[in-house]
């Protein structure tokens, strides 16, 4: 094969693109030139030259997203919110001992005042009737929500459903006018390297479009939400882009931009979007006003290299079940502790987060086909997808008085309650739901979400066990509390 001609008169390996005049044009047409050069040979150079022509202008070779932007940008809105918050107003000299000696501890030290906080973000219209999806953190706690279209039309909006676990929220624009909207694509169709556009309202400057590629399809090591399964892109995303659109070249919604990885607050080319398949699941829940996800009744851990070796697997893939609820759908379908779930409906599961995501995008009432490995043999198992049961009933109580747990509110854990809070649905017991400020429970250090394991070595399994303690409170309390993955021991006098 003949060597490529030297178009510069120099060694091609030392071409300095920064010094080539008209470098922008060169970079755009280099692929065209290269394809033409490869077809050259010593015998037919003159013939090829007659049939191929160089572009006569920049417009002939310029790649433009303008037609796509004109089509999709009207469906991306700015979201403005307003909320009233309580804040403490401290007298400037209140912490001065001399000042407090004369005026006392109660003089203006912790005056409460209300203030209004305005915030902004982005949203995507996903229905002609004005249904809009955005991030939950954009509208969290908002008293007023207003959306502004690219043509400057403005509408008030109401919240249909908020899902803290996926950081998604669904709004409804209060208008009867039909609005432009984006269709959702199947986010499993994307490939790494696909071109994408990010559209939003960064820093409140107004609608802004940036381009990039899909850098990763399923980034599961990002602890942004309970469903840590994100599309990663290098399209520039900045504060204010939250809730905006990540679209493919076919104009369909690929994901909702949610977060960036940054050490200084700026864009470093690492942005994350909630996949459209999760967005669709939350939108479908808007009619009921709450998000209900299927309950498997089993939990597991990611198959590591060591686990894979012990199971004679070729590579670490899947989720090995380590707990199965005896009355859950998994047990009813024959799943057992030690089974390795390799895929759901043909979608491979690289880790435990993928299992949670795949179930989270399914609807209650259907079935999921799980490919499992047991004793070295692969098989398919159909699992019914049911709503998590409220068993036992919540039976909430609030403790008053001067006991160590006074000021705390407790509730029975159940799969239904745990699902709403992102707690492992197989964990049972009694959880703290609220703490009154300044109460004995607050001073001890209780926090909402704590799970009471035992008091004085007596196991606490139900709220009824707390009630028994209140009927005859001990003089000393030795409490064991689970907080996340830690177990905390506390000893106090009654």
| Beta-strand relationship, 271-275 and 111-125 | unpaired
Q: What is the pLDDT of residue 18?
A: 30
Residue 3 maps to a domain: no
pLDDT at residue 356 is higher than 50: yes
Predicted confidence at residue 32, as pLDDT, reads: 36
Residues 412 and 376 in one domain: no
Range of the domain at 309: 298-384
Cis geometry, peptide bond prior to residue 392 (ω within 30 degrees of 0): yes
444 and 358 in a common domain: no
How much is the pLDDT for 265? 67
Asked if residue 326 is part of any domain, the answer here is yes
pTM of the entire predicted model: 0.77
Residue 421 pLDDT greater than 90, yes or no: no
- pLDDT for res 429: 93
In 3-state terms, what secondary structure has residue 401? coil
Q: Are residues 187 and 265 in the same domain?
A: yes
Render pLDDT for 385-413 as a digit per residue (tens, 0 to 9): 999 999 999 999 999 999 999 999 999 99
Boundary-marking domain end, from 322, 350, 384 = 384
Provide the pLDDT for residue 491.
92
Do 99 and 155 lie in one domain? The reply is yes
Percentage of residues in the chain having pLDDT higher than 90: 68
Residue-averaged pLDDT of the chain? 84
Which of the residues are catalytic?
137, 167, 242
Whether 392 is in a domain gets the answer no
Residue 103 has pLDDT above 60, yes or no: no
For residue 73, what is the domain's CATH number?
2.40.10.120
Q: Which of 366, 361, 407, 359 is nearest to 385 (CA)?
A: 366
- Asked if residue 389 belongs to a domain, the reply is no
Same domain? For 433 and 344 the reply is: no
Judgement on whether residues 309 and 283 belong to the same structural domain of the protein: no
Report helix, strand and coil shares of the chain as percent, to nearest 5: 20, 35, 45
pLDDT > 70: percent of the chain? 81
Which of 254, 276, 291 corresponds to the end of one domain?
291
- Give a yes or no: residue 46 inside a domain: yes
CATH classification at residue 378: 2.30.42.10
Worst-scoring range by mean pLDDT, 5-19, 78-92, 311-325, 407-421?
Answer: 5-19
User: What pLDDT, on the 0 to 100 scale, is given for residue 5?
Assistant: 38
pLDDT above 60 (res 8)? no
Which pLDDT does position 112 carry in this prediction? 63
| Statement to judge: residues 48 and 71 lie in one domain | no
Domains of the chain: total: 4
Residues 274/380/366/220 CA torsion (nearest 10 deg): -10
Same domain for 188 and 85, yes or no, is yes
Render 77-136 in DSSP notation, one character per residue.
Answer: EEEEEEEEEEEEE--TTTT-HHHHHHH-TTSSTTEEEEEEEEEEEEEEE-STT-EEEEEH
Whether residue 117 is found in the same domain as residue 237? yes
**The pLDDT value given to residue 88:** 58
Mean pLDDT of all residues in 17-36? 33
146 pLDDT band, cuts 50/70/90, is very high
Q: Which residue has the higher pLDDT, 14 or 409?
A: 409
Residue 106 clears pLDDT 90, i.e. is over it: no
- Residue 404 buriedness (CB in 10 A; 0-12 / 13-18 / 19+): buried
Going by pLDDT thresholds of 50, 70 and 90, the confidence category of residue 35 is very low
pLDDT for residue 39:
42
- Quick check: is 5 in a domain? no
Q: Does 250 lie in the same domain as 140?
A: yes
Report if residue 410 sits inside a domain: yes
Task: Say yes or no to pLDDT of 74 above 60.
Answer: yes
- 314 and 282: one domain? no
The region of weakest confidence among 82-91, 190-199, 442-451 is: 82-91
- Tell whether 69 and 154 lie within a shared domain: yes
| Boundary residue ending a domain (244, 271, 291) | 291
Residue 482 domain-assigned (yes or no): yes
């Amino acid at each position: 094969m003949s060597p490529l001609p030297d178009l510069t008169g120099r060694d091609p390996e030392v071409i300095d693109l920064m010094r080539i005049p008209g470098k922008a044009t060169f970079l755009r047409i280099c692929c065209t030139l290269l394809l033409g050069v490869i077809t050259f040979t010593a015998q037919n150079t003159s013939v090829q030259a007659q049939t191929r022509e160089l572009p006569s202008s920049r417009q002939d070779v310029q790649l433009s997203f303008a037609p796509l932007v004109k089509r999709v940008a009207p469906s991306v809105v700015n979201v403005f919110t307003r909320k009233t918050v309580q804040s403490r107003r401290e007298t400037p000299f209140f912490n001065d001992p001399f000042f407090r000696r004369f005026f006392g501890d109660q003089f203006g030290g912790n005056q409460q005042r209300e203030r209004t906080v305005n915030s902004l973000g982005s949203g995507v219209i996903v229905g002609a009737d004005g249904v809009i999806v955005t991030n939950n953190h954009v509208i969290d706690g908002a008293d007023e929500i207003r959306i502004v279209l690219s043509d400057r039309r403005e509408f008030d909006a109401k919240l249909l459903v908020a899902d803290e676990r996926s950081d998604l929220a669904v709004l409804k624009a209060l208008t009867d006018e039909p609005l432009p909207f984006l269709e959702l694509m199947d986010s499993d169709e994307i490939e790494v390297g696909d071109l994408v556009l990010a559209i939003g309202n960064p820093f409140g400057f107004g609608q802004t479009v940036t381009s990039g590629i899909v850098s990763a399809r399923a980034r599961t090591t990002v602890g942004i939400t309970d469903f840590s399964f994100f599309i990663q892109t290098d399209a520039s995303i900045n504060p204010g882009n939250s809730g905006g659109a990540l679209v493919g070249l076919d104009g369909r919604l690929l994901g909702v931009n949610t977060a960036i990885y940054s050490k200084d607050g700026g864009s470093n080319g690492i942005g994350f979007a909630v996949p459209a398949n999760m967005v669709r699941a939350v939108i479908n829940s808007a009619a009921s006003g709450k998000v209900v996800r299927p309950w498997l009744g089993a939990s597991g851990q990611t198959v590591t290299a060591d686990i894979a070796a012990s199971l004679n697997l070729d590579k670490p893939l899947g989720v090995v079940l380590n707990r199965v609820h005896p009355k859950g759908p998994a047990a009813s379908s024959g799943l057992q502790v030690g089974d390795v779930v390799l895929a759901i409906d043909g979608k491979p599961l690289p880790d435990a987060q993928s299992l949670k995501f795949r179930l989270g995008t399914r609807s209650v009432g259907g079935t999921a086909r799980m490919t499992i490995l047991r004793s070295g043999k692969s098989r398919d198992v159909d699992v019914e997808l049911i709503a998590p049961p409220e068993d036992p009933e919540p039976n909430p109580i609030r403790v008053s008085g001067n006991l160590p747990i006074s000021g705390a509110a407790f509730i029975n854990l159940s799969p239904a309650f745990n699902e709403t809070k992102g707690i492992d649905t197989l964990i049972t017991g009694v959880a703290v739901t609220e703490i009154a400020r300044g109460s004995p429970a607050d001073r001890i250090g209780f926090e909402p979400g704590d799970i009471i394991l035992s008091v004085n070595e007596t196991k606490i399994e139900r709220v009824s066990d707390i009630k028994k303690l209140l009927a005859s409170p001990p003089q000393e309390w030795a409490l064991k509390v689970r907080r996340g993955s830690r177990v905390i021991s506390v000893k106090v006098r009654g």
